[in-house]
Structure 1
Amino acid sequence: MSTGLPAVTVVGSINLDIIATTDRLPTAGETIGGGVLQQQPGGKGANQAVAAARLGGSARMIGAVGNDAQGRLMLEALSSAGVDTADVAVLDGDATGTALIVVDRDGENQIVVCPGANSAFSLEGVEFQPDETVLCQLEVGLDVVLEAARKSSRFFVLNAAPAMDLPAELLERCDLVIVNETEYELIPALVNAKLIAVTYGKDGSAMFERGRKVAEAPAAAVKVANTIGAGDAFCAALVLALRSGLDYTRALAVANAVGADAVGDPSSQPALALLQDYVALTTNAADAGQRIVLSE
């Protein structure tokens, strides 16, 4: 249920995550036994839409699934989290996207994505309202992301993951780009971005304007269970925090706290509190001059 936070429309991927949890990640050509297998909803787009909804935002998902059992499961998961799925296409000729994931005991992972329907949908007939913030990633076709940027008239956000070269037109249209430190290094053009948020894992996050650091916030301390959905939760929280009027430093702190909660949850679409609770948590910690520590 929305709590008066900005409306966020996510254009992106919807995947079934097939996850094998092992003591350690295999090396090339190696077989490791004793894994534990599970399946759950995922995809960077779906993860971000679910996180936005669970944080209390009004979330709409634009993407595609196959006309199969996995697609129906993904739609049900989105709807049950409070995400509007009216503009999710169900495609007859393509399977629902699938991610094959291996996670070790420290939460590190290896991922192979089979895009399926994610690479076959378009934005034909889709419109964005003037008050909608649009959030994209790069697990769908770059042409779809460019079209979303052109159609969006308000705040446009790109989570530039996975890393790839970005057209100048797209980069200039972005009001905010969100990446991790590796992606920041792999996309040199980002140094010219109008506004970019970079995450550094246990070292927190920072905001840059045209390459100049303008804000930073430390990470929240928490025991790691799974890192798969943490970056997506961070993205959703940062967008909602900024669009709600928080300054860069406060918005980063709130997003770090949300990301920490996500890291402590084994799900790709973790349970989250409302954004206002993280705002209160970080405000109290800042007032007391303390490092944020979430329950382990």
Structure 2
Amino acid sequence: MASSVAVFGSANMDLVVRVASAVRPGETVSGSSFATGPGGKGLNQAVAAARAGANVCFLGAVGADEFGGRLRDFLFAEGIDASGLASSAEPTGIAAITVTDDGENAIVVVAGANAVDRMSDSDRAAVAGAGYLVVQLERPVAVVIEAMRWARGHGVATVLTPAPVPDARIDELLSLSDILLVNQHEAAALSGDADAADAARALSRVAGTVVVTLGAAGALVGQDGEVTATVAAPAVAAVDTTGAGDTFAGVLIAWLAAGATLHSSLEAAAAAAALTVTRAGAAASMPQRADILTALQGDRS
């Protein structure tokens, strides 16, 4: 069966340390806890979409090591088609994450196997059979562009989360994006506009639909040089913001793939992201579809 959502992206093992406050340069502090868990923007978005009800295929690479085996098992346990997950001679990618007691995080990523810079034949077949292709930039920009061009050539809608923000080939990436999903910092870096609304207007003249996420302030939408919609975020007490943006992306695309309108998809994504920040971890914190529906019912009552 063809996947409604193909995610071409990164898979990492997250190494998470919780600390009281952000660590300053040259400072040594004591952490209160340490944990490992599945992560990577690609894997996170795939999990979020699958838990939200989408039929998801994940296309990435891991090493022939313990972390790679754990990530492969995790994807299958989530009901995600990971048959296209390649084995690399490089070690599995990792993300070293510090999370402060007020829920903010800082992340250092080592790409490892995610640096594979080519599409396989099975990657191409999976992308061509999808309704949506979701990509990020924790894999080499050249292969992401290759995947987006391949999707465009087969009538597949492309969704780009440009993180980390690239320093080359930005115009190509934007022009190949049917949906560009950015936070306010990425929007400013890509457009040169510090104001989120101005950034959305500018970016939507180059990309397709632009969604700028604003954290607790919700999100706004830019289309054809105008801000066309806004969505509020539910008020919650944040525990850990890791994975919130990936949850938003995965749920947004899962709802769209199921035929929902953009506005209702944005509402579901905002509700899901709000649930995520009330829990610790990245993929581990992502809500199931039933949780999202319950939250939406609560918001409307």
Whether the TM-score (by the shorter chain) exceeds 0.5 is yes
Higher helix share: 2
Relative to structure 1, the CA distance from residue 34 to residue 267 in structure 2 (aligned partners, 3 Å threshold; closer, same or farther) is: closer
Residue 48 of structure 1 pairs with residue 35 of structure 2: no
Q: Say whether the 8 Å CA contact 1:164–1:186 is kept in structure 2.
A: no
Q: Say whether the 8 Å CA contact 1:108–1:226 is kept in structure 2.
A: yes
Counterpart Cα distance in 2 of 1:285 and 1:262: 16
Counterpart Cα distance in 1 of 2:236 and 2:56: 27
Aligned to 2:149: 150
Residue 242 of structure 1 pairs with residue 256 of structure 2: yes
Aligned to 2:103: 107
Counterpart Cα distance in 1 of 2:106 and 2:291: 32
Q: Say whether the 8 Å CA contact 1:238–1:252 is kept in structure 2.
A: yes
Aligned to 1:97: 93
What stretches of structure 1 move > 4 A for 4+ residues in a row?
Answer: none
CA deviation after TM superposition for structure 1 residue 129, in Å: 3.1
Say which is worse superposed, 41-50 or 28-37, in terms of deviation: 28-37
* SS state at 2:72 partner: helix
CA deviation after TM superposition for structure 1 residue 247, in Å: 2.7
Aligned to 1:30: 27
* SS state at 1:253 partner: helix
Aligned to 2:56: 59
Counterpart Cα distance in 2 of 1:70 and 1:130: 29
CA deviation after TM superposition for structure 1 residue 89, in Å: 0.6
Deviations 1:228-274 (A, max 9, x none): 11110100111122233333322211100010111112121024121
CA deviation after TM superposition for structure 1 residue 284, in Å: 6.0
* SS state at 1:74 partner: helix
Counterpart Cα distance in 1 of 2:47 and 2:204: 30
Say which is worse superposed, 103-112 or 206-215, in terms of deviation: 206-215
Aligned to 1:184: 187
Counterpart Cα distance in 2 of 1:34 and 1:157: 37
Relative to structure 1, the CA distance from residue 19 to residue 168 in structure 2 (aligned partners, 3 Å threshold; closer, same or farther) is: same
Say which is worse superposed, 32-41 or 253-262, in terms of deviation: 32-41
Counterpart Cα distance in 2 of 1:65 and 1:160: 21
Aligned to 1:221: 235
Identity between Structure 1 and Structure 2 (%): 34
CA deviation after TM superposition for structure 1 residue 150, in Å: 1.2
Aligned to 1:129: 128
Aligned to 2:198: none
Counterpart Cα distance in 2 of 1:105 and 1:280: 28
TM-score between both structures, scaled by the size of structure 2? 0.88
Partner amino acid, structure 1, of 2:54:
G
Consecutive unaligned residues of structure 1, counting only runs of 5 or more, are: 289-296
Residue 264 of structure 1 pairs with residue 278 of structure 2: yes
* SS state at 2:172 partner: helix
Number of corresponding residues: 282
CA deviation after TM superposition for structure 1 residue 32, in Å: 0.9
Partner amino acid, structure 2, of 1:26:
V
Counterpart Cα distance in 2 of 1:210 and 1:109: 34
